[in-house]
Amino acid sequence: MNRAAARNRITETAPHLVSVIIAAYNRKHELQELLDLLAQQTISPDLFEIIVVDDGSTDDTLFYLKHLVDSGRENLIFHYQRNQGPGAARNRGMSMASGDVFAFTDTDCRPRPNWLEELLKPFADTHVGAVGGAEEYDAHGTVLQRAIHLCMTSPFTTGGIRGKTGTKLARYYPRTFNMAISREAFEKTGGFASLYHGEDIELSFRIRQAGFALVFNERARVYHRRRDSLQGFFRQVLKMGEARVTLARLHPQMLEPLHLAPAAGILALLALIALAPVLDTAFFLLKLLPVAVFLFLIVLGSAASSSTGDMPVKDRLRLFFLVPACFILQQSAYGIGFYRGLWKGLIKR
């Protein structure tokens, strides 16, 4: 079916022909699950195409994609390129796309059946340039992955800005784990910048600067599979902290007070330790700090365990301890990454 014919069949709930763009790198098994779920979307497969850009995978991702197309997966297109990063892969996908809307998700995400349908609805307003959706915990994950998910989405943490409206603590920017942009927004912004981290929110920022609206649709949901180790989580958040400095250098308006909190907390702790031997006030605050932190972590652990009534009691008890531990790791990694980003920026300058 050609593009004009497909448009004639577009329904009120899916007002645009859409291209789903996926950047893949050595994630064949995750990609298989994702493509299976995209085949179960509530809008007709005639109304959307799937473009997978293999960003230099060394596993058999390319063979798998060729097999799917040869087997008759009609709405699937793929492209192989040398490894250039997710932003470059998505830009390549958009250059190949025929849709009026470009939707993005990651290989570690599992979209609900109505994901595309809901993600498209806000584009009925022509002022909308980008739409973001919500993320849910993957029920097949471990207790540790659930603890990490809670840290990344809880309103008690910096990750809380990624859900709901995102306007209470910091401005909301759609991210590519669950995001769609209009073709017009792409053409006016030029797509993703050459960044390995934070390229999605940087693009969202430029879309807003170009005069488009950014919209959050809570009903467009994906299950998000988290890191499966504390080490992996630490590295992920460390890179996020570094990326925040890069984004601030590109667009100073993107740096908001909340983003400084982890780095400021580390600096304040070091200052108290240094001043405690010579300043009574610093010594008093340093003695008071463990009590305050302990009480906050108790509240955080209690909130986490009480929000997971679907889990066995023993797992909820593990969450009570794991979430505070992950929170400390998250804040420390983000703060250290922020300072590392500052140091790298000074060296480059």
Class of domain 3-228 as given by CATH: alpha beta
Mean model confidence pLDDT for the chain: 89
> What integer is the mean pLDDT of 336-342?
96
Q: Supply the pLDDT for residue 346.
A: 81
What percentage of residues in the chain have a pLDDT greater than 90?
Answer: 76
**Residue 304 corresponds to which tokens in the numbers above?**
């986490």
From 222, 113, 92, 110, select the one nearest 162 (Cα to Cα): 222
Distance from C-alpha of 52 to C-alpha of 92, rounded to nearest angstrom: 10
Q: Supply the pLDDT for residue 199.
A: 95
Name the strands in the sheet holding 178-182, side by side, starting at the edge strand that comes first in the sequence: 76-81, 48-55, 18-24, 101-105, 178-182, 128-137, 213-224, 109-111
* 310: exposed, middle or buried (Cβ count in 10 Å: 0-12, 13-18, 19+): exposed
**Residue 53 corresponds to which tokens in the numbers above?**
């850009």
Crossing angle of the two packed helices 257-275 and 230-250, in degrees rounded to 10: 110
What percentage of residues in the chain have a pLDDT greater than 70?
Answer: 91
Where in the chain is CATH 3.90.550.10? 3-228
* More confident: 14 or 193: 193
> What integer is the mean pLDDT of 23-44?
94
Distance from C-alpha of 169 to C-alpha of 164, rounded to nearest angstrom: 11
- Structure pTM? 0.88
- The pLDDT tens digits for 122-175 are 999 999 999 999 999 877 889 999 999 988 887 665 555 554 444 456 788 999
Whether the CB-CB separation of 114 and 88 falls below 8 Å is answered with: no
Whether the CB-CB separation of 244 and 255 falls below 8 Å is answered with: yes
Q: Supply the pLDDT for residue 226.
A: 92
Q: Supply the pLDDT for residue 14.
A: 42
Q: Supply the pLDDT for residue 161.
A: 52
Q: How confident is the model at residue 306 (pLDDT cuts 50, 70, 90)?
A: confident
